[in-house]
Amino acid sequence: MSRSGLRLDQINKYNKEGFLSPLNILSTKEVTKIKSELELIENSWPKEINGLNRNNIHYISPIFDELVHNKKILDVIEDLIGSDILVAGTCLFLKEPENQGFVSWHQDGKYQGWTPYNFLTAWIAITDVTEENGCMRMLPGSHKKKFMQHKDTFDENNLLTRGQTIENVPYKKTIPILLKAGQLSLHHPKTIHGSGPNLSKKRRIGFAIQSYIATNVKQKVGKVYVQLARGRDNYHFHEHTTRPKQRMNSKNLNLRNKANLALKKILYNDSKKIGKY
């Protein structure tokens, strides 16, 4: 199969702005398969993808596992972080219709504990994403500065763990990330971004592979479980896991639960309070 990585101008744009979109990845048929898988899991095991369990569905669903190991996505990621790539987590960002849920301005890398910053978030649209239904917005060039101060708000409508918020972000300078279902958006761990509520009558579904990390990335705060996505892991900084062959089998559920508890420790490290995610 031919390689479907980035052109040089796209790599330059990502390096200059700290994000890149839209990139065509999935066909309509592939999107339908993923959406149906999500709905099947939601209907049959509703507790398994809520709260903390919105994380790491790829451990319990072979269809989501296939998505994180998608060749087209990995070709793109390789052009930005190199050819030795680990999947270190995923998160569903689902916004119900006419819902106040929002994501405050933040930088992903602030609480993830990974260094060096040779990793990124790959966000796949499972539905069309518009300004009306709460698309992400990015502040160009913000990845070149230091981490900003984040204030933990624990706002009940905030979809982030602590409701962590960077104040005084210049909204007019931020760029909306408009996507068709099946398209991909990428952002750097220091890029300031957020998203508003879904004011439309349909769900907005995003699946964030958070993150693809290069094998030389260390975890400074706790422990993270990984899968090899491409290349070789010569460092072995993290515990490698198996890939699921069956949906919701108990061994994989245990693994997902273990990974989510480890993630929770990282994300709430030093926090005075624990939120609902």
Ligand X SMILES: O=C(O)CCC(=O)C(=O)O
d(CA 243, CA 196) in angstroms, rounded, equals 34
Smallest gap, in angstroms, from Cβ of residue 276 to ligand X?
A: 16
Smallest gap, in angstroms, from Cβ of residue 184 to ligand X?
A: 12
- Contact between 67 and 207 under an 8 Å Cβ cutoff? The reply is yes
d(CA 271, CA 103) in angstroms, rounded, equals 18
Nearer to ligand X, 192 or 252 (CB): 192
Amino acid identity at 10: Q
Closest among 126, 108, 129, 127 to 117, alpha carbons compared = 108
Smallest gap, in angstroms, from Cβ of residue 18 to ligand X?
A: 12
**Interacting residue ranges for ligand X, rule: CB under 6 A:** 93, 103, 108, 121, 123, 136, 193, 195, 206, 208, 210
Nearer to ligand X, 21 or 252 (CB): 21
d(CA 143, CA 24) in angstroms, rounded, equals 24
Closest among 107, 218, 124, 120 to 160, alpha carbons compared = 107
Smallest gap, in angstroms, from Cβ of residue 56 to ligand X?
A: 14
Beta bridge partners of 102: 158
Nearer to ligand X, 59 or 93 (CB): 93
Nearer to ligand X, 211 or 252 (CB): 211
Nearer to ligand X, 132 or 233 (CB): 132
Which uninterrupted H or E stretch holds 93?
strand 90-95
Smallest gap, in angstroms, from Cβ of residue 134 to ligand X?
A: 6
